[in-house]
Structure 1
Amino acid sequence: MNQKSADIILIFIVLIWGSTYLAMKWGMESFGIFTLIALRFSIAFGIGIFILLKCRSSIYLHTLASSALLGFGYFCGFTLLLYGMKTTTTTSAGFLMATTVVFVPLLQILFFRRIPNTFILLAVCLCLSGVGLMTLKNGLALDFGAILCLFCSICYAIVIITTKWVLNSGENALTIGVLQLGFTSLFSLGAMLIFEMPFPQAPLESWGIILYLAIFCTLIGFVLQTIAQEFTSPEHTGLIYTLESVFASLFGYVFLQEVLPVQGYIGVILVFSGVIIAVKYGKTIEKTGGE
């Protein structure tokens, strides 16, 4: 697999994830936050571990440690996101989640002294401007929920960088991709048993939403993302993540008849332009400092 193929896979994954805002919103009407995360990741892990056994993948102590680290990151991220979605507007949440595109290169500079090339920096500016045009209407009020979403964005940026670091250390992408689901499930099950009623009475359609989130958005999405990240850079991953807000808007239009203003469609064009620039030209990362 080359970098362009990996980027295309990530775009496909983000297309699926664009639907999760609707699905999670509907799911939270019947399930508590930790229960929703626990069910979603437990079902995904149950299917995924069967695949690992069929492939006879080797699992070592350092593999479990790496998976636990990533699983904890996802648990924290989803907890922050879902609590944020409960207490802030969708507009604010959508913009703040897309700021992952900014935090990834900033964290790369901070921890690894890596400066993204000019095309990546241009793509970051285009994507951030585009998401702002798509989501900002009367200003962005940083209420408590918005702050939670901002921290979730930082958390996702850390997970993206950590995933690349783990894969560069020689871990198997499929094994890590599945085991991280198990640890996310484990952390959320613990929180569910402490803070929520473990067995809610939910209608049948709510369980259908859980299955959709588990199979498509979690098992397929997270495993393919981990595999694809082995062949692309954290900056590319962060940039492609901004498409999630574009696809979420499309799903909102189809299912909720939400229509973007003119500036929103200009924002869509800017985001797509930024991602295209990153995929086509942003292949290298310049290093600075005493390396």
Structure 2
Amino acid sequence: MIVFEKQKLQLNRYQADGILLLTAAIWGGGFAAQRIAVQFLGPMMINGIRFLLAAAFLLPFAHFRVEISKSNLPGVILAGAFLAIASNLQQLGLRYTSAGNGGFITGLYVILVPFFLWVFWQERVGWHTFLAAGIAVIGMLFINTGGALRFSSGDLYELAGAVFWALHVILIGIMVRKMNVLSFSIGQFAICGIVNLLSGFLFEPFQISNVWQAGWALLYAGIISGGIGYTLQAIGQRHSPASDAALILSMESVFAALFGYIFLQENTTSVQLIGYGLIFAAIVIAQILKPVPADQPRVSDSPHRIDQGLP
């Protein structure tokens, strides 16, 4: 059994990377589960249920105590807001695109992260980032309509979601170095879940029978992908360099396509496979060629500059 408190949990880099790889596999399966759930419920209702399930699942591990200081509360609220926006865009996109497309387009957050660090914290953006971005754009064109300059609405929702996933990843890297992982996870899940559930009741049609029909998919998305997956991400990011974390978590897109093929019989064309390969290559380039100067701390790896304030 994993003990989550910072002072008791000691992991080396390779153990942390293994946890992040497991997280990527769990999240990849989540795309297939969400693709099933969206056939029965609206995006906000799905996310409301699954994130409240995630928070409830984690509460016993925290001994039913959530400790969030006043100084950390704005960061937790902001994380919950980013999570709500990103997850709704992702869930909405999965109504109109495949689990594989959703996984690979969402994975573009890895390329967006250094751009946001450049904008908000003035970190240097190297040529490799622009190269990766260009390759990723070509890959997205290949995924959609054989390379024609046109995107389905689902893919555009996924792309917009990738922006907020990037912001969420950066914020997690900040907050897990400042507070207890479980308290942070439960806090952001509760905020995200409550906002989504209330919005779902107000703006989406709802029947209790649909919840039962989407039951196992909601349980996977809530407890396994949410409660376990996001917490493993937070643990892994605490003990793994940001460069490792972003690259390993990008494997989520590969697992999403694999599980979509196995469980949903989603077939891909050869052109789409080329697009998947280009996006994955772009993600790898964005990380492998990333320079990390020894004498210059990075926001994504160090809490010291971040503690001065959030963007």
- TM-score, normalised by the number of residues in structure 2: 0.76
Alignment partner of 1:72 is 2:81 = yes
Alignment partner of 1:58 is 2:58 = no
Cα offset for 1:131? 5.8
Cα offset for 1:160? 0.8
Cα offset for 1:65? 2.8
Alignment partner of 1:42 is 2:46 = no
After superposition, the C-alpha distances for 1:76-113 in whole angstroms (9 at most, x for unaligned) are 01111122222456665444322212111111111112
Q: Output the CA distance in 2 between the equivalents of 1:96 and 1:268.
A: 9
Which structure shows the higher helix fraction?
1
Do 2:236 and 2:245's aligned partners in 1 also have CA atoms closer than 8 Å? no
Cα offset for 1:151? 1.4
Do 2:82 and 2:168's aligned partners in 1 also have CA atoms closer than 8 Å? yes
Q: Output the CA distance in 1 between the equivalents of 2:59 and 2:289.
A: 37
Amino acid at match of 2:184: I
Aligned equivalent of 1:185, options 190, 193, 199? 193
User: Structure 1 residues 214 and 265, CA, compared in 2 at 3 Å: closer, same or farther?
Assistant: same
What is the number of residues matched between the two proteins?
A: 287
2:4: which partner in 1?
none
User: Structure 1 residues 133 and 251, CA, compared in 2 at 3 Å: closer, same or farther?
Assistant: farther
Do 2:104 and 2:279's aligned partners in 1 also have CA atoms closer than 8 Å? no
What residue ranges of structure 1 are gaps of 5+ in the alignment?
none
1:254: which partner in 2?
262
Alignment partner of 1:166 is 2:175 = yes
- TM-score, normalised by the number of residues in structure 1: 0.80
1:217: which partner in 2?
225
**3-state DSSP of counterpart to 2:200:** helix
What residue ranges of structure 2 are gaps of 5+ in the alignment?
1-10, 298-304, 306-311
Most deviating of 26-35 and 155-164 = 26-35
1:229: which partner in 2?
237
1:200: which partner in 2?
208
RMSD in angstroms over aligned alpha carbons?
Answer: 3.6
Most deviating of 254-263 and 213-222 = 254-263
Alignment of structure 1 residues 20-169 onto 2, 5 Å: 20-53=30-63, 58-88=67-97, 93-115=102-124, 121=129, 124=132, 128=136, 132=140, 135-136=143-144, 137-139=146-148, 141-168=150-177
Q: Output the CA distance in 1 between the equivalents of 2:131 and 2:126.
A: 10
Cα offset for 1:69? 1.1
Percent identical residues: 24
Amino acid at match of 2:259: F
After superposition, the C-alpha distances for 1:204-228 in whole angstroms (9 at most, x for unaligned) are 4521221111111000011111222
Q: Output the CA distance in 2 between the equivalents of 1:257 and 1:68.
A: 38
